[in-house]
Amino acid sequence: MAAQDHLFSLHNLRDMDRDRYLACLLSPSHLRIPLAILYSFNAELARVRDLASNPLAGEIRLQWWKDIFESSRDNILSESKSPLSIKLVSIINQYALPYQFFFDMIEARFFDPYNDSIFDCKQLEIYAFKIASSLIHLATMILSDKKNFDIIDVIKHAGIAQFIGELILLLSKHCNRGQLYLPLDILGAVGLDRESFFSGENNERISLVIKIFAELGLEHLVKARKEMNHISPDIFPAFIPVSITENILKKCSK
């Protein structure tokens, strides 16, 4: 990869995802670009709603990525048409990254172009796991060639915690365009529904919903921390975005 491509990968990520850009800078120098490419793919999926003029256009963008990963291993490179997809396929082959993780991330994002509700915490946790936990797992595979089967639970809970923190940060943006990622069972527990939440008329109950949601994130963070002693220093950079969102969760849970 040319030097200018290296700079482009990092600069591109800096503009789209500052937390993971920082994680790249704190990673070994020879792994920064592969991580930046991985994180840029995640950022590209995350902004489908921002770039699409309507839900169908969003689905088409996601289907384009899905088609790449549904290709056979021998054909996947020929299916890659954009600079990012070509770079992504390159690191997938270099680090033997499992296609299924990428497929799960894309599949989960088909929820985003629409304004559908998340019915309960279980649905939210599955959604977060497929996106954020998969991303952490892939990052650990780039950072170390060791099999990290003993930290699967850490990755799972850390990803869910990080994603909940991210959703809290984006809550205002999502609400402004009619999206709601707060599970309906949490709203119902405090006497709200989707419509009454969007109306913004009961600030006390809305604040309580956000507090409960943040506490859910902290519960997952605590579960991850219990197993953190199994994490070797070489894969710690994969968890930096989780550390960054911890303050958000703690602040909102008070």
- For 151-177, write each residue's pLDDT tens digit: 999 999 999 999 999 999 999 999 999
**Fold classified for 115-254:** Farnesyl Diphosphate Synthase (1.10.600)
DSSP code at position 96: T
Q: For position 36, what pLDDT does the model report? A: 96
The pLDDT score that the predictor gives to residue 80 is 57
The model's pTM: 0.93
What is the pLDDT at residue 142? Answer: 97
Spans in the chain with pLDDT lower than 50: 1-3
Question: What is d(CA 187, CA 197) in angstroms, rounded to the nearest whole number?
Answer: 8
Indicate the domain borders of the chain. 1-112, 115-254
Query: How high is the pLDDT of residue 68?
Result: 84
Amino acid at site 141: M
The whole-number pLDDT of residue 133 equals 98
pLDDT of residue 3: 47
